[in-house]
Structure 1
Amino acid sequence: MQSFQIHTAYSPWFALLCLAVGVGVSWFMYRRGGPWPTGLRWLLASLRALLVALVCFLLLEPYTRRVRQEEIKPKVVLAFDNSQSVGLFTQKADLTRTLQGLDALAERLRKRGMEVVTESFQEGDSAASSLASMPLQAPFTNLHALLEKGENAFKDQNLAATVLISDGIHNQGPTPTFQLYNAPVYPLALGDTIPKRDVVLEEVQYNKINYTGTSFPIQARLRHNGFSGTAMNVLLQENGKTVQRKTVSLPRGGTSQTTFQVTAAQPGKKHFEVVVQPVTGEFTHLNNRRHAYLEVIKGKLKILVAAAAPHPDIKALRSALRTNPLLDVEVVLGPFQNPSFKTPYDAAVLHQIPNASGVGTDWLRRLRSDKVPTFYILGAQTDFNSFNALQAGVQLNRPSPQFDEVQPLLNQAFKRFSTEPIAQTRVRNWPPTAVTFGEWQLAPAAEVILHQQVGAVRTTKPLLIYKPAAPTPSAVLLTDGSWQWRLTEAVDHGSVQIYDELMTHMVQLLANRRNQKRLHVYPVKDEFETSEQVTLQADVFNAVQEEIFGQTISLTLTHNNGKQTQHRFKHEQGGEGLPLGNLPVGVYRYTATTRAENQNHTDTGEFVVQEQNLESLLAVADHSLLSQLAERSETRLYYPTQLAQLEQDLIKADFKAVLRSHQEEKDLLEQPWFYFLLLGLACTEWALRRFFGTL
């Protein structure tokens, strides 16, 4: 239903004045008669009066209002848990019969005036013609995300109810029983709650970082149901070959564990598989195998943390860096002795050095001469004139004794290392810290990691920067109050993950540039899930280690099975790198080459794609979770044999359609039809006068 209205910016009574003007002009023109009959003269006068009145009407700033009402039918979402566990642990014939019954139920609801839509875990599945034709391929189950997906898609479209079709197995994301949903949830339980006779390789524990020549453990934990006293063979395999074998007798208690001791002579990423050999009577063999991906390195990176004086930042930095087993952290506080540097440092963190009192100058000079990549943390005691001379990536012109209280803002365009999705929100909530007031000038090669926010104003001023160029790679943090960020994160979230990762990634980025390679190709993460897109980034440097752009990089990727694929991408400033898409499980190695300044340069590396295999860990449905969800929605739990009851309850709920009005306003001056109306009136009058007499 639509309605069309005309309104004016002034009182509509002025329209009578416009009509009076039109009548007056028409009377003045046609008062003396003419060569026309009386009826035609009245018609001509009316056309002229209407034309003049409409032209005067424009002075009232008229506008049109179009009101359209539409009826929005109640929507019922069939949220289908099409995860692998549903296909694994629900009888195929029963599942097919249930899904076909739901498709028929959906058609009957549509005939009753409801709009029924389907949702599943994967975007492409919604295009399936029926629930029965949806593939059961989702590698994990996040029931909250599934319910929220339907709510977000139809929150403004009269969402009446959500039918959750699931086995209740939930292994990722927030537990749905503790969430609030706008529409009532009607759970339909699939699967079987009776435990099956099965042996499950529940977990494999190992250190992800290990060192060459040392022995490290890989521990496997088994869980079983119905196999007490059975002897199981557990194998440790590398590259498809069995390297160790253990025999485990399964106890009555249901769990057991065994440990393999492994020694690796060569550095690199290693891929082991722990395999439980199947026995007769197991429900499934899909949960008898788990992967272990670990890295063997030659030694730790040596990191120096030097401060001119004790400060809360030092404890926060030391605690953050020591969370990474790759880093060997040494802390030195002023006043300093003469630097001995018994072992070379891979990177250094200097807190308020260069210092206004000269503390640490000898250490700074020695680090500069050894070309050690340095992370500078500035504060009230920093000697800014000496710091500007370091060319660390940012300079402060005309430093002031005053300070700005600024909050950090994460720069999403920075791609040299990845951050967790929650980082943007958490970093934004970190407390303000003091930054010396002045004109901060960024070097051309420097990249901003954190921006400054002053009050509610987001600025482009840097707070944390990274410079990969000569004379040595460096990073600069413009505040000495970052310890407050770590403390706030611990209080607000019970975890300091984001702060610790930011600092460790920053130091690792500096330390890994110490090799002075001209070409550096690296993955944005060391480990990817099969559901994640693998992306590689690259840096190219000239002879003095200044980053350059525009090179074409050729890359050969060696897959886990030995297959090789060729790739090419352009190295551009701010570019997205090389997206490789989703890759199967395995260890991947690559060789990259490019030509810069008439020389060929090569780099190699590797990364891991792993799969958690969450869906096969439990061979029993969790209907208690679905029952709790129904209780919170004040509905009930349904089973496949109760589809008729589900249909009756949905009909009995008597979901109502919603009438929604859409209003559109537009100036009359902007609408062509009005000008055609004026032209039509003028042309009609002219044509009649021309045909029946004189102009």
Structure 2
Amino acid sequence: MQSLQIHTAYSPWYALLCLAAGLGVSWFMYRRGGPWPMGLRLLLASLRALLVALVCFLLLEPYTRRIRQEEVKPKVVLALDNSQSVGLFTSKAELGRTLQGLDALADRLQKSGLEVVKQSMQEGDTVVNSFAQTPLKAPVTNLHALVEKGDRALRNQNLAATVLISDGIHNQGPTPTFQLYNAPIYPLALGDTVAKRDVVLEEVQYNKINYTGTSFPVVARVRHNGFNGTTATVLLQENGKTVQRKTVSLPRGGTVQTSFQVTAAQPGKKHFQVQVQPLTGEFTNINNSRHAYLEVIKGKLKVLVAAAAPHPDIKALRSALRTNQLLDVEVVLGPFQNPSFKTPYDAAILHQIPNATGVGTDWLRRLRTARVPTFYILGAQTDFNAFNSLQAGVQINRPSPQFDEVQPLLNAAFQRFSAEPTAQSRIKAWPPTPVTFGDWRIAPAAEVILQQQVGAVRTTKPLLVYKPAAPTPSAVLLTDGSWQWRLTESVDHGSSQIYDELMTHLVQLLANRRNQKRLHVYPVKDEFEASEGVTLQADVFNAVQEEIFGQDISLTLTHEGGKQTRHRFRHEQGGEGLRLGNLPVGVYRYTASARVENQNYTDAGEFVVQEQNLESLLAVADHSLLSQIAERSETRLYYPAQLAQLEQDLIKANFKTILRSHEEEKDLLEQPWFYFLLLGLACAEWALRRFYGSL
């Protein structure tokens, strides 16, 4: 239903003046009569009066208001939990009948005047046409995301109710029991709450980082139901071969654990599978095995943290670096201690060195001679003239004794290591720290990790800079107040994860560049989940270790089973690298090659794709969770045999249709039909006068 109204910016009583003006002009023109009969003369006068009145009416700034009303029918969302647990632990015959019944229920609700929307946990806005044809393959169950998906899509579309079809097993995301939703939830319970006789390999515990020649444990925890007093055999397998076996007695308590001691002589990624051999009468064997992916390395990276004098930054850096098992940190303070220099350092952190007092100059010279990648932290005691001569990636011209108080901002364009999704907002909340005021200039090859924000103004000035180029890789932090960042993050979030990862990733990036390879191909993560895409990045350097672009890189990917696939991508500045998409679980190794300055260079590496295996841990439906959701929504819990009752309750709820109005205002001067009206009046008067003998 639509209506059209005309309003004016001034009082509508002024329209009488417009009409009077039209009548006055018309009377003046036609007062003496003419060669027309009285009826025609009145018609001509009326046309002229109306034309003039409408033109004068424009002075009142008229506008139209179009009101359109529409009926929005109530919508009911049928949200199906299509996770693996529903298909694994619900009778196939019963599940098939239930899904077909839900399709029929949707049709009947549609005929009763309700609009029905079918949804599942598929990503995006994929339309579900038939529940009976929907694959039950989702690797995790996030019931909150499933319900919120309908809430978000139909936020302004008169969402009346959500029917949640699930077994109640929830293993990812917020618990829906304590969430607020826009519509009541009617849970429909699938699955079986009676515990089956089953043996479950509940967890495998192991250190992800281990060292060659050392022995490390792999601990398996086994849970069972209904096998009291029997024994089970637990196998440790590598590459499909059993390397160790243990026999465990299944106690009455239901849980037992056993440990394997493993020794790895060669470095690299290792893939072990722990498996419980099936027992007679076991409900399912799907949850009898789990995978363990670990890395064996030659040794730790040796990192020197040297400061000209004691400072709170040193404790913050030491604590951050020691969260990473790969780093062996040595801390020295001048002028009280000297670095050992017994073994070559893989990276060094120099706090206010070069120093205005000369402390640490010898240390710096030895590190520069050994070409150790260095992370410089600047402050009030830094000798900026000496620092500028180091060509570390950033220089300051005419340093001032004054300081700017700046806040850090993460540069989203920096892609050499990945940050947590929350890093952007958490770093932005770190407190301001002092930065020497001056003209900071970045070297062409340098990359900005953190930028400065002065007050409310976001700038492009650097705060943390990384330079991969010759003579050695380096990084520079322009403030000596980063200890405040770690302290603030610990207070606000209970941990300093983002600060610790930023510092450890930066030091690892420096240390790993010590070999000065010309071609470096690397995964953005060492471990990927089976549900996420795999991406590889690349760096290419010239003879003086300056990064260059435009090379074509060929890559051969070897899957765990020996299958090989070949890929090709171009190394571009700011490019997205090589996207491999979702890969099956396993250890992958790759070799890459590129032609750089008329020579061929190669690189190799490996990464892991692992599965979460959450859906097969519980073979018992959790109907109590669904019951709590129903109680919170003031509805009730339904079972597959009660679809008819569910239909009656939805219809009896008498969800109301919403009448929604939409108003649109538009200036009359912007509407062509008004000009055609004026033109029509003028042409009609002219045509009549012309036809009847006088203009």
- Please say which of residues 633-642 and 118-127 is displaced more in the overlay: 118-127
The residue aligned with 1:573 is 573
Greater shift in the superposed pair: 450-459 or 77-86: 450-459
- Aligned-partner Cα distance in 2 for 1:123–1:235: 37
Q: Which piece of structure 1 moves more, 285-294 or 240-249?
A: 240-249
Are positions 1:356 and 2:356 aligned together?
A: yes
Mapped partners of 2:346, 2:628: distance in 1: 55
Q: By how many angstroms is 1:437 displaced?
A: 3.0
How far 1:41 moved relative to its partner?
3.1
Specify the alignment match of 2:233 in structure 1: 233
The 8 Å contact of residues 352 and 378 in structure 1, kept in 2 or not, is answered as yes
- SS of 1:689 mapped into structure 2: helix
SS in structure 2 at match of 1:584:
coil
Aligned pairs for 1:97-116 (under 5 A) are: 97-116=97-116
SS of the residue aligned with 1:183? coil
Residue in 2 that maps onto 1:293: 293
Runs (4 or more) in structure 1 with deviation over 6 Å come to: none
Partner of 2:666: 666
What is the identity, as a one-letter code, of the residue corresponding to 2:119? Answer: E
- Cα distance in 2 for residues equivalent to 1:517 and 1:42: 98
Change (3 A) 1:420 1:19: same
Q: Alpha-carbon deviations, 1:197-247, whole Å to 9, x = none?
A: 111111111111111122222111111111123222222221222222222
Question: Contact 1:75–1:158 (CA<8 Å) still a contact in 2?
Answer: yes
CA RMSD of aligned residues (A): 2.1
Distance 1:54 1:639 in 2: 69
1:82/1:125 Cα in 2 relative to 1: closer, same or farther (>3 Å)? farther
More displaced, 513-522 or 347-356?
347-356
Q: What is the DSSP-based 3-state SS (H/G/I as helix, E as strand, rest coil) of the residue aligned with 1:49?
A: helix
1:441 — aligned with what? 441
- Which one-letter code corresponds to 1:198 in the other structure? D
What is the SS of the residue equivalent to 2:514? helix
Q: Name whichever of 602-611 and 63-72 sits farther off.
A: 63-72
| Residue 389 (str. 1) matches residue 389 (str. 2) | yes
1:300/1:325 contact within 8 Å kept: yes
1:339 is displaced (CA, Å) by: 4.8
- Equivalent residue, structure 1, for 2:692: 692
Amino acid across the alignment from 2:433 = T
| Structure 2: runs of 5 or more not aligned | none
Paired residue secondary structure (1:514): coil
Residue 284 of structure 1: how far off its partner (Å):
0.6
Report what 2:57 is aligned to: 57
Distance 1:679 1:323, change over 3 A: same
Within-5 A mapping of 1:9-48: 9-48=9-48
- Written as runs of structure 1 = structure 2, the 5 A alignment for 1:228-627 is 228-335=228-335, 339-627=339-627
The more displaced of 37-46 and 96-105 is 37-46
Letter in 1 for 2:140: F
Check conservation: 2:558, 2:589, Cα contact below 8 A.
Answer: yes
Deviation of residue 586 (structure 1)? 0.9
What code does the residue aligned with 1:36 have?
W
Provide, for residues 669-690 of structure 1, a one-character-per-residue CA deviation record: whole Å limited to 9, x for no partner. 3333333333333333333333
Taking structure 1 as reference, are residues 464 and 37 closer, same or farther at Cα in structure 2, changes over 3 Å only? farther
What letter matches 1:83 in structure 2? S
Unaligned runs of 5+ in 1: none
| Worse overlay, 459-468 or 160-169 | 459-468
Tell me how far apart the structure 1 counterparts of residues 462 and 648 of structure 2 sit (CA, whole Å).
62
Pairing 1:49-128 to 2, within 5 Å after superposition: 49-123=49-123, 126-128=126-128
After superposition, what is the alpha-carbon deviation per residue over 1:111-132, rounded to whole angstroms, capped at 9, x for unaligned? 3322221222113684221222
Post-superposition offset of 1:448? 2.1
Amino acid at match of 2:77: V
Structure 1 residue 337: deviation in Å? 5.0
Q: What SS does structure 1 have at the residue aligned with 2:626? A: helix
- Count of aligned residue pairs for this structure pair: 695
Match of 1:203 in 2: 203
Q: Is the 8 A contact 1:166 1:189 kept in 2?
A: yes
Q: CA deviation at 1:340?
A: 4.7
- Flag the 1:334–1:42 CA change in 2: closer, same or farther, 3 A: farther
Deviation at 1:186, TM superposition (A): 1.8
Point out the more displaced range, 208-217 or 684-693: 684-693
2:243 maps to a residue whose letter is V
Alpha-carbon distance in structure 1 between the residues aligned to 2:599 and 2:687: 84
Q: How many angstroms apart in 2 are the aligned matches of 1:342 and 1:690?
A: 113
Cα gap change, 1:467 to 1:29, in 2 (>3 Å) = farther
Offset, 1:9: 3.0
Q: Deviations over 1:296-318 (max 9, x none)?
A: 11111111111222222211211
Distance in 1 of aligned mates of 2:5 and 2:401: 64
For 1:145, the aligned partner's letter is A
SS of match in other structure, 1:150: helix
Contact 1:229/1:251, CA 8 A, preserved across alignment: yes
SS of equivalent to 1:6? strand
8 Å CA contact 2:264–2:296 kept in 1: the answer is yes
8 Å CA contact 1:118–1:126 kept in 2: the answer is no
Conserved? CA contact 1:79–1:120, under 8 Å: yes
Q: Distance in 2 between matches of 1:182 and 1:13?
A: 48
* Residue type at the aligned position of 2:295: E
Deviation by residue 1:480-538 (Cα, 9 ceiling, x = unmatched) = 22222222222222222222111111111111111111111111100000110111111
Whether the aligned pair in 2 keeps the contact of 1:338 and 1:362 (CA below 8 Å) is no
Deviations 1:389-438 (A, max 9, x none): 32222233333333333332222222211122222232232233233333
Contact 1:215 1:261 in 2 (8 A): yes
CA distance in 1, matches of 2:684, 2:442: 71
Distance 1:107 1:238, change over 3 A: same
Tell me the distance in 1 between the aligned counterparts of 2:477 and 2:239: 45
Q: Distance in 2 between matches of 1:132 and 1:556?
A: 41
- For residues 189 and 38 of structure 1, do their structure 2 counterparts lie closer, same or farther at Cα, with a shift above 3 Å needed? same
1:38 and 1:9 map into 2 onto residues whose CA distance is 38
Other structure's SS at 1:94 match: helix
3-state DSSP class of the match of 2:466? Answer: strand
